[in-house]
């Protein structure tokens, strides 16, 4: 994909993982709005257990590490975050696939919550573990950092007025959040968003190209094959001992393959293995 070029006013495609993420957030937003109108007490109770509060997480409400991202404090912030997910997510999904995008987003949401919650117990920057945070921006910052890392020279329109490269646009957002962390009242919220950006950076930097799920399954598949190879080697050794007792000598290689003395075989041929 080109990293630079002219800017088109055409909207990106709305489908796949991007559509699922946006519809999930929009659905929860309106569901909670209707619930707040029908039964304010139930809505208050539910949202009280969905916000991210480090003390509550330590007490066992671990779902807050993800549920907080489904709550949004204001309409303008919510709309802008959805637009950001749409534009950045479409670019990433088109190049890396739906599963990779989903893993990046939720890793940023959950990883940002874990990092920020842990830092809140240190009381740095005046933080407290009983502070709360909500909003989709931790995951959104993960997408923005991925855009800066992978498509840093791609140009966007800042506030629809200024043409700017992605890496500089993301740097502006990061500096704004750092200023909020140091000066504003909602410093825990800013820390969650910055932590989401850090989690997104770590995902892009270290996660397998095809995603964490694929990497884990490949690792488990390798463990399974290693187990079967060990069983095969053990069986081969036992068979060698048995044949020696029968006054016959047979040989197996280090992978448990029988070595035919009359056959020449490539030692690097692994096609027979699991």
d(CA 147, CA 257) in angstroms, rounded, equals: 48
Domain that holds residue 216: 211-274
- Is the per-residue pLDDT at 270 higher than 90? no
State whether 66 and 126 are in the same domain.
yes
CA of residue 19 relative to chain centroid, distance? 17
Which residues make Cβ contacts (< 8 Å) with residue 64, sequence separation at least 6? 49, 50, 51, 52, 53, 56, 57, 113
Residue by residue, DSSP assigns 132-143 as: -B--SHHHHHHH
SS3 156: strand
Residue that is written with structure tokens 């495609």 in the block = 13
Query: Which range (6-10, 46-50, 96-100, 207-211) has the least confidence?
Result: 6-10
- Is the per-residue pLDDT at 8 higher than 70? no
pLDDT bin (cut points 50, 70, 90) of residue 157 is low
Q: Using an 8 Å Cβ cutoff, are 213 and 156 in contact?
A: no
Last-in-domain residue among 158, 182, 207: 207
**Residue 7 falls within a domain, yes or no?**
no
Residue that is written with structure tokens 């050794």 in the block = 237
State whether 162 and 92 are in the same domain.
yes
Inter-CA distances, 26 with 20, 32, 252, Å: 10, 10, 62
- Is the per-residue pLDDT at 263 higher than 70? no
Average pLDDT over residues 230-256: 77
Supply the pLDDT for residue 241.
78
State whether 180 and 78 are in the same domain.
yes
Which residues make Cβ contacts (< 8 Å) with residue 15, sequence separation at least 6? none
State whether 50 and 152 are in the same domain.
yes
**Residue 5 falls within a domain, yes or no?**
no
Supply the pLDDT for residue 191.
92
Count the Cβ atoms, other than its own, within 10 Å of residue 125: 14
State whether 61 and 187 are in the same domain.
yes
Residue by residue, DSSP assigns 93-105 as: HHHH-HHHHHHHH
State whether 129 and 216 are in the same domain.
no
Last-in-domain residue among 179, 207, 235: 207
- Is the per-residue pLDDT at 42 higher than 70? yes
Q: Which residue has the higher pLDDT, 13 or 37?
A: 37
pLDDT bin (cut points 50, 70, 90) of residue 3 is very low
- For the chain, the C-alpha Rg in angstroms (whole number) is 26
**Residue 67 falls within a domain, yes or no?**
yes
Query: Which range (19-33, 115-129, 232-246) has the least confidence?
Result: 232-246
pLDDT digits (tens, 9 = 90+) for 198-223: 999 999 998 877 666 656 666 676 77
State whether 26 and 113 are in the same domain.
yes
Mean pLDDT of the chain: 83
Query: pLDDT exceeding 70 applies to what percent of the chain?
Result: 83
Inter-CA distances, 174 with 84, 131, 247, Å: 15, 21, 76
Burial of 101 (0-12, 13-18, 19+ CB in 10 A): buried
Average pLDDT over residues 16-40: 93
Rounded to two decimals, the pTM is: 0.76
Average pLDDT over residues 168-179: 84
Within the chain, strands assigned E span 155-158, 162-165
- CB-side exposure of 121: number of CA atoms within 13 Å? 11
Q: Using an 8 Å Cβ cutoff, are 90 and 146 in contact?
A: no
């Amino acid at each position: 994909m080109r990293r630079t070029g002219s800017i088109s006013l055409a909207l990106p495609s709305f489908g796949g993982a991007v559509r699922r993420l946006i519809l999930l957030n929009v659905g929860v937003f309106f569901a909670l709005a209707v619930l707040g109108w029908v039964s304010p007490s139930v809505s208050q109770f539910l949202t009280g257990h969905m916000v991210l509060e480090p003390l509550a997480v330590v007490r066992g409400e671990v779902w807050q590490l993800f549920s907080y991202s489904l709550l949004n404090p204001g309409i303008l912030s919510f709309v802008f975050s959805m637009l950001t997910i749409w534009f950045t997510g479409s670019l990433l999904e088109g190049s890396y696939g739906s599963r990779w995008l989903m893993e990046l987003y939720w890793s940023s949401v959950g990883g940002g919550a874990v990092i920020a919650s842990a830092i809140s117990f240190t009381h740095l920057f005046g933080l407290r573990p009983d502070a709360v945070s909500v909003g989709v921006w931790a995951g959104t910052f993960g997408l923005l950092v991925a855009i800066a890392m992978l498509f840093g020279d791609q140009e966007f329109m800042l506030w629809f007025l200024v043409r700017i490269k992605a890496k500089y646009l993301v740097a502006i957002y990061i500096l704004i959040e750092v200023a909020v962390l140091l000066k504003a009242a909602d410093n825990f919220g800013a820390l969650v968003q910055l932590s989401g950006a850090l989690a997104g950076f770590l995902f892009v930097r270290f996660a397998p190209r095809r995603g964490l799920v694929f990497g884990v399954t490949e690792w488990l598949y390798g463990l399974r094959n290693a187990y079967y190879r060990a069983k095969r080697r053990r069986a081969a050794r036992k068979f060698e001992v048995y044949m020696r007792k029968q006054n016959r000598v047979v040989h197996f290689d280090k992978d448990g393959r029988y070595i035919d003395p009359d056959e020449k075989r490539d030692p690097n041929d692994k096609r027979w293995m699991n």
